[in-house]
Amino acid sequence: MNKRHDKLGIKQTIQKCWMDHAVQMMLAGMTEKEIRLELNDYLATQKQSGGTGDRGKKTYGMAIGVLASWFSPENDLIPLRDDALSIARRLPVAEWMPLHWVIISSSYPFWFNAARQAGRLLNLQGQITQAQIFSRLKEQYGDRETVSRNARYIIRSFVAWDVLKDSETKGCYKKLEPISVTNDLAILMLESALHASPEAKGTLSLLLNYPAFFPFHFPSITGDFVSQQSKRLEVVRYGLDDELLKLK
């Protein structure tokens, strides 16, 4: 199993604007060293709540580690990152959130699993609680304090990214309207799901309705279309209508 499937890694709330800033620097042609230096200065005054103020170096250093999934990904994720960056060039910054979801999910499967558990619960009920998500994640990762702590940061990130909304009751959340994604974005999201899965495979029908993609609405996509558009995904047909997607 890839080592990233064992790490939790999200140790503070991640603001979308921080991810935006990292991508903007990449599009401007800045080097990894330059980006890290700029992020050190930038995040020193950016609070987890989205406001400004002095922060400890260790705290914002954790955030840079997550943002590095854009500018310094693991080798097997570089082609996915490069395609996401190409799409970012064509989109306004306000529409980058699905791209951030692709990058962070493929780099931090715990984020993807937290989204999966939230999505499963939202399929069953109109509102979900933090405790429900914690309980399901602990079944998978064990009853450790680090699981709850990292999950708490991810849930607050979901709220900061406007995919969940705080309800009147503390620790209770509502789903917001899903965001429609284009075909090219959808294919990258399917690929990110395979990177986030230890098996690195899944049926197309399952992936298009995967709970971890609860913030998004996918277009209709066929296995033939995936084969034509992606050099990194393999489509294997079996039975009458089943299509299995795998990383090549």
Same structural domain, 222 and 171? no
Which domain does 13 fall in, by range? 1-177
Q: What is the pLDDT of residues 178-194, one digit of tens each?
A: 999 999 999 999 999 99
Same structural domain, 65 and 158? yes
Render the burial of 76-115: b for 16+ CB within 10 Å, e for the rest: ebeebbebbbebbeeeeeeebbbbbbbbbbbbbbbbbbbb
| Last residue of one domain, picked from the residues 177, 201, 231 | 177
Same structural domain, 81 and 199? no
Same structural domain, 161 and 186? no
Question: Can you give the pLDDT at residue 177?
Answer: 94
Same structural domain, 158 and 215? no
The whole-number average pLDDT for the span 99-115 is 97
Same structural domain, 57 and 163? yes
Same structural domain, 95 and 185? no
CB 104 within 8 A of CB 14: yes
DSSP-assigned letter for residue 169 = S
- Mean residue pLDDT of the chain comes to 91
Structural domains of the chain, count: 2
The whole-number average pLDDT for the span 110-117 is 96
Same structural domain, 215 and 157? no
Q: How far is CA 179 from the centre of its chain?
A: 14
Instruction: Give the position of tokens 């090219």.
Output: 184
Question: Can you give the pLDDT at residue 60?
Answer: 64
Q: How confident is the model at residue 106 (pLDDT cuts 50, 70, 90)?
A: very high
Q: What is the pLDDT of residues 143-153, one digit of tens each?
A: 888 999 999 99
> What pTM was estimated for this model as a whole?
0.92
Same structural domain, 67 and 190? no
The residue with greater pLDDT, 122 or 239, is 122
